[in-house]
């Protein structure tokens, strides 16, 4: 199975809805994390979790919590919205999160993780999965956390085998993933640096026991990647038409929810930071998009970008 990673600022409900209308290769969608502030969730998170904004077959909201009370608070809200399962974020690597002992900041504290999860299963009827890193400062930290996971009926563990200090660059700790494969009692999902079919093939040969894969930036760069993994073929012309359709749907989606055209262009520029990878002259295409200051120039630049596909 292919999962779409929860990436803050990118895989929001507009992106997920637009993607699922054009590309069939994702089996499970994850909502980027929601968290607690002043004993409530922010309005922007409410739009993300509304059932009408999440009509895909399987959608799992992710939560970011520093203690058992925050996790239970969030789980009750999501239960009220009709969700049956949530995902606990133990992997967010950014210092503004980890310094508050959230996300990967909890990884040096297995006893605290145990207390949080135990309280959840005592008080909530929801299912729980976990997205985790190898550690905050050391890839050995996972070895103290896996015994904690094994005490509870978690649905699955999604594992990014890097430490938080690396953010999204540098060495993948294969030994940490291998340790998890040997010692976890739960279904294990691989996450991290699958940007192409070749990289997927390499990882699937390296870890043949693994049948579930979470894809993040690889999908943002190449929305066809899940289909390529599933060995679904398509013509060059079909690829162009689907890219155009995807762009149009997502542009219309953001245009409906944003309060002015400038914000729409800013959001679409962020989208093109990855989407431009689908074009042979990627840097030139993205440079033109970034220079767009209004919808007219943006339309001109996108038209030029898509015309360039027909010339190759």
The whole-number pLDDT of residue 242 equals: 97
**Co-location of 182 and 247 in the same domain:** no
Lowest mean pLDDT among 52-61, 265-274, 303-312: 303-312
Q: Which of 171, 203, 229 is the last residue of a domain?
A: 229
Q: What is the CA radius of gyration of the chain?
A: 20
Q: Which of 229, 262, 288 is the last residue of a domain?
A: 229
Average pLDDT over residues 167-172: 90
**Co-location of 13 and 56 in the same domain:** yes
Q: Which of 112, 115, 63 is nearest to 85 (CA)?
A: 63
Query: What DSSP element (H or E) covers 46?
Result: helix 43-49
pLDDT, tens digit (0-9, with 9 covering 90-100), for 280-300: 999 999 999 999 989 999 999
- The alpha carbon of residue 59 and the mean position of all alpha carbons in its chain are separated, in whole angstroms, by 12
**CATH number assigned to the domain comprising residue 89:** 3.20.20.70
**Co-location of 177 and 272 in the same domain:** no
How far apart are alpha carbons 310 and 305 in whole angstroms?
10
Contact call for residues 213 and 194 (beta carbons, < 8 A): yes
The model's pTM is: 0.95
The whole-number pLDDT of residue 37 equals: 85
**Co-location of 143 and 254 in the same domain:** no
pLDDT band at 4; cut points 50, 70, 90? very high
| pLDDT higher than 80, residue 311 | no
Average pLDDT over residues 23-28: 96
Helix axes 295-310, 282-290, angle to 10 degrees: 170
**Co-location of 212 and 120 in the same domain:** yes
How far apart are alpha carbons 278 and 215 in whole angstroms?
17
Which residues are 131's β-sheet partners? 89, 158
Q: Which of 229, 250, 282 is the last residue of a domain?
A: 229
Q: How many domains does the chain have?
A: 2
Q: Count of alpha carbons within 13 Å of 103, Cβ hemisphere only?
A: 20
Average pLDDT over residues 205-215: 97
| pLDDT higher than 70, residue 212 | yes
The whole-number pLDDT of residue 78 equals: 97
**Co-location of 181 and 250 in the same domain:** no
Chain-wide mean pLDDT for the chain? 96
pLDDT, tens digit (0-9, with 9 covering 90-100), for 85-127: 999 999 999 999 999 999 999 999 999 999 999 999 999 999 9
The residues, any chain, with a CB within 8 Å of residue 227's CB and separated by 6 or more, are 23, 24, 25, 234
**Co-location of 296 and 218 in the same domain:** no
pLDDT band at 42; cut points 50, 70, 90? confident
**Co-location of 43 and 124 in the same domain:** yes
CB < 8 Å & 24+ apart, contacts of 247-254: 247/275, 247/302, 247/306, 249/18, 249/21, 249/22, 250/14, 250/15, 250/18, 253/14, 253/17, 253/18, 254/14
The whole-number pLDDT of residue 38 equals: 81
**Co-location of 46 and 191 in the same domain:** yes
The whole-number pLDDT of residue 44 equals: 82
Query: What DSSP element (H or E) covers 189?
Result: strand 188-191
**Burial letters 114-136, b for 16+ CB under 10 A, else e:** bebbeebeeebeebbbbbbbbbb
**Co-location of 142 and 200 in the same domain:** yes
* Percentage of residues of the chain with pLDDT beyond 70: 99
| pLDDT higher than 70, residue 70 | yes
**Co-location of 119 and 38 in the same domain:** yes
- Which DSSP state fits 5? -
**Co-location of 155 and 264 in the same domain:** no
User: What's the domain range around 261?
Assistant: 236-310
The whole-number pLDDT of residue 312 equals: 59
Contact call for residues 263 and 294 (beta carbons, < 8 A): no
The residues, any chain, with a CB within 8 Å of residue 225's CB and separated by 6 or more, are 25, 194, 195, 196, 197, 200, 215, 218, 219
């Amino acid at each position: 199975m292919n999962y779409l990673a929860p990436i803050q600022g990118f895989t929001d409900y507009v992106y997920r809805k637009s993607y699922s209308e054009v590309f069939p290769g994702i089996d499970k969608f994850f909502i980027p994390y929601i968290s607690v502030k002043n004993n409530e969730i922010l309005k922007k998170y409410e739009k993300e979790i509304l059932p009408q904004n999440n009509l895909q077959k399987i959608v799992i909201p992710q939560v970011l919590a520093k203690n058992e009370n925050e996790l239970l608070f969030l789980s009750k809200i999501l239960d009220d919205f009709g969700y049956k399962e949530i995902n606990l974020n133990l992997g967010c690597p950014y210092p503004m999160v980890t310094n508050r002992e959230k996300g990967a900041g909890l990884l040096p504290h297995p006893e605290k993780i145990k207390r949080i999860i135990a309280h959840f299963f005592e008080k909530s009827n929801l299912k729980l999965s976990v997205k985790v890193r190898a550690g905050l400062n050391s890839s050995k930290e996972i070895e103290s956390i896996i015994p904690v996971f094994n005490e509870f009926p978690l649905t699955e563990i999604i594992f990014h085998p890097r430490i938080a200090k690396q953010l999204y660059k540098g060495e993948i700790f294969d030994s940490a993933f291998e340790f998890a494969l040997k010692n976890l009692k739960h279904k294990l999902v691989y996450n991290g640096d699958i940007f192409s079919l070749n990289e997927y093939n390499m990882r699937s040969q390296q870890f043949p026991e693994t049948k579930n894969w979470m894809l993040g930036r690889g999908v943002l760069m190449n929305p066809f990647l899940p289909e390529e993994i599933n060995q679904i073929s398509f013509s060059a012309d079909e690829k162009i038409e689907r890219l155009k359709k995807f762009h149009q749907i997502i542009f219309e989606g953001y245009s409906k929810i944003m309060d002015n055209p400038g914000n729409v262009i800013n959001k679409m520029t962020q989208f093109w930071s990855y989407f431009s990878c689908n074009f042979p002259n990627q840097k030139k295409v993205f440079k033109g998009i970034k220079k767009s200051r209004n919808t007219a120039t943006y339309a001109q630049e996108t038209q030029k970008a898509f015309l360039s596909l027909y010339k190759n």
